[in-house]
Structures are given as C-alpha cells and as structure tokens.
Amino acid sequence: MAKNIVIVGAQWGDEGKGKIVDILTKNADIVVRFQGGNNAGHTVIVNDEKYVFHLMPSGILHENKACVIGDGVVVDPEVLLGEIEVLEEKGIFNGKNLHISKNAHLIMPYHKRLDISKERLKGDQKIGTTGRGIGPAYEDKAARTGIKCGDLLDENLFREKLKRNITEKNHYIQNVLHQVGFEVHEVYHTYMAIAEKIAPYIIDTSHYLYTAMNAKKKILFEGAQGTLLDIDHGTYPYVTSSNTTAGAASVGTGIGPTRLDKAIGITKAYTTRVGEGPFPTELDGKEADRLREHGGEYGATTGRPRRVGWFDALALRYAARINGLDGLVITKLDVLDNLKKLKVCIGYKYKGKKITDFPADAAMLELCTPIYEIHEGWFEDTTKIKKFEKLPKKAQEYIRRLEELSGIKAVMLSVGAARNETIMIKNPFTR
C-alpha cells in the first residue's frame, strides 16, 4: 500500500491536478505543494462551489487534513493571505491546517515588476509568463540573494536583506528600465503587516513531514504546472522557472527520494497550453474554438484563452519516462463526447523523417508536424458514468489506446469538473 504519492501534470499544465488532488486527499493525511508559486491555478469544485487555489494546496477543503507549502515553492505573501482570508470567511480555514516552509522564497513586489517589464522587452520572443514574478524570484534564489519566508520572523534581518535587494533592483529598474524604483520602508511595512498574520504557520516543514512519515501518515505531493514546462526537461525556454517533474517532490520538501512510493501523471484526453512556445498538435480556427468552448479552456490564473490541440502520445510517453510514472489519470474525457472524429498524434515528421520520441527542444519541436491516427467518436454523454466498463465502447478503446501508447495504465478517469464525475479504476493509495 502506497503512503507517499506524487501528483504531477503530464502535459503543459492545467490537466486537472486540483480536482484529482482534492479527491485523493480523502485517503491522505497531508497535502504538500513542492514547487511553483501563484502562477498555478488549481480548480476544485465542491457542491457547485468553485475554488481556484494558487498557493494553497488543493486538499484544504477537507477537514482534519494538514496542508503544507514546501521549501521549493515561491510565496507571494499577499496572495497567500488573500486565499487564507477567503477560506476563513467560509469557515474552512482553522489556523491549524496550514504549515509554510521557512525555506520557501518570497516573491517581492520588484519580482512582479521585473517579470512584466522583461517580458515586454522581449517583444515577440516573450515567453507569455503569468506576470506573477515567478521567474525573477527563482533567479534571486539561484543567485543566493533571495529572501525566505523564515526571514519574515526576524525584522532586522528582513530589513537588511530587503535593503540590499532594493538597492540592486532599483539600479536596474531606474537606469535600464527608466521606471520609478521601490522604497525600502514601504515594502518593509507591507511585508511586516502580512508577516504578523502568517508567522504562526512558518515552520521547518521538512522536519514536520519527516516526523509525520515516521508516524505512518500518508502524504500527497501536489505538483504545479506540467512536465513540459519543467525548467530542465520541458520545452526550454518556453517553460516555467522550477522543476515541475516528480523528482522535485523530494528536493522541494526535504524528503529523501527513497521515501516516495508512486508518481501519478495527470493528462487531459486532449492537449492545452497557455503562453508561447511550440505545440505540434495545436488546432486553429473553428475546430479550436469548439474544443476551447466545450472544455472551458480559459486560464484559471490569468483568464487567457488556452491554446488547444489533439492528444500527443509522444509527449505523454516522454512524461512517463521523465517522471517514472506508475499510473495515469485521464481528465476531461467528457469534452470529447460530441466529436465525430478524434485524432491522436503517434509520431512527428521532422525534416522528412518520422520520429517517435518527443524532442524536448523548442527549436526542433517547432519543425515537427504531427502524424495522426484517427479514432471514431462515441457521441454519448459520459458525465454520469461511474465505471470504466459502462463507458461507450469507443471511449474505452480510446483510453486503452492512450495507455498502450504511453505504456502506463489509467488509475482514474475524469468525466466532469465535479468530485463525483470521476471513474476510479484503482485508487493509488489503497491498491
């Protein structure tokens, strides 16, 4: 029986991780985010009420479960406080169910400004970031000049680090970008006011998780973004600034890799992407509009229309390899209910030759055109179905084919956004 399970996006994000993490939290004791920041938008729908979590782990709606923001996350404290306040108003947040790593780096106001300004300077080379300051915050972490959540607990240390950072940032903001710089005292007061409210949650989460594991607690590791947005293994430079793949669950929480039991990849039954970068199976025109409307494919963080396309088996096989996937969750099957024909990409044509391995290289991927196999649609409503065997035969065949192409079995299917619109094949915690 698995105790510690990692959930990752197997595509370019927005695969439905939030919904799946919420469901699996029932079997877990603790849910921990291990990377990314509020570039994430994880949707959970419970009793017709919709929640979109950006920093809060998606298990927070369950009573008596602990949620942890791990070391590898970058935290915008204003956004976090906003999420806490909304949950407090609804009586969901009790002050005992959240722990924030003292090692998690802070997103500062200048990170957001730099993110947006640098994107603007890039012109048509832009990445299409969420503008939330994610990249600049991770840059400072790597440059060893970042400010951590734990620094909020020592106002003198915080002021010192802030001063050094603002001096350096203002130099660039004023002399290169020709914009108005930041004032130390303003940022200091804003952050100290927030610190007062979130300080009680800031702890050594690695130790907390270690102790919980020794007490046989079950832990769900919630990834953000998706495999193809991974800084090392994604379609660089059109990626985010963290490792989004399963290995990051270890370094992003301070739990040794030998303690992780399973990695489960979440994939849509088709593909979407937000922001710039290559996307070989992308659709355009009316076909794209129809899929986008049916799937409600608008960004949960920025509201941007998502780019949509057919399922890409090369990309999924790649995600299976990079994450060492043990199981798949295939979501949004219902979105395909009304299509006469479905396409699945089984190879690429690259410089006149067929390739079947995903090249995680943006320049090469730009030159790839998809080779499709065609599937007949099932033309039936799948949203009420609770068992795999009850799905229309053609939908079953479609799922079986995705399993075959990726070499990984589906453990759950999702046929709607609500909790109960789920087909459990093999609960990864209990079987």
| Residue 105 interacts with ligand GDP (CB under 6 A): yes or no | no
| Residue 267 interacts with ligand IMO (CB under 6 A): yes or no | no
- Binding residue for ligand GDP, selected from 10, 11, 17, 249, defined by CB under 6 A: 17
State the binding string over 132-151 for ligand IMO (x if CB under 6 A, else -). x-xx----------------
Which residues from 259-318 bind Mg ion, rule CB under 5 A?
Answer: 300
Pick 17 or 262: Cβ nearer ligand IMO: 17
**Active-site annotation holds for 289:** no
**Distance in Å, CB of 224 to Mg ion, minimum:** 8
Which residue bears the tokens 């698995």?
2
- Binding residue for ligand IMO, selected from 101, 205, 240, 323, defined by CB under 6 A: 240
State the binding string over 31-50 for ligand GDP (x if CB under 6 A, else -). ----------xxx-x-----
Tokens of 404: 């075959």
Dump the DSSP string for 200-260. GGEE-HHHHHHHHHHTT--EEEE--S-GGG-TTTSSTTSS-SS--STTHHHHTTT--GGG-
- Cα torsion at 102, 234, 232, 106 (round to 10°)? -20
User: Which stretch of DSSP H or E encloses residue 115?
Assistant: helix 109-122
Tokens of 420: 């109960």
Q: What's the sign of the alpha-carbon dihedral 248, 251, 252, 255?
A: positive
3-state secondary structure of 112: helix
Burial of 214 (0-12, 13-18, 19+ CB in 10 A): exposed
- Binding residue for ligand IMO, selected from 61, 98, 127, 195, defined by CB under 6 A: 127
Burial of 406 (0-12, 13-18, 19+ CB in 10 A): buried
Pick 68 or 391: Cβ nearer ligand IMO: 68
How far is 39 from 74, CA to CA, in rounded Å? 10
| Residue 128 interacts with ligand IMO (CB under 6 A): yes or no | yes
Q: Is 225 left (phi over 0), alpha (psi -120 to 50) or beta?
A: left
| Residue 13 interacts with ligand IMO (CB under 6 A): yes or no | yes
**Active-site annotation holds for 261:** no
**Distance in Å, CB of 364 to ligand GDP, minimum:** 26
| Residue 41 interacts with ligand IMO (CB under 6 A): yes or no | yes
Which residues from 3-42 bind Mg ion, rule CB under 5 A?
Answer: 14, 41
Tokens of 8: 């990752």
Return the active site residues: 14, 42
Binding site for ligand GDP (CB under 6 A): 9, 13-19, 41-43, 45, 296, 300, 331-332, 334-335, 414-417
- The footprint of Mg ion (CB under 5 A) covers 14, 41, 300
Binding site for ligand IMO (CB under 6 A): 9, 12-14, 39-42, 127-130, 132, 134-135, 224-226, 229, 240-241, 274-275, 300
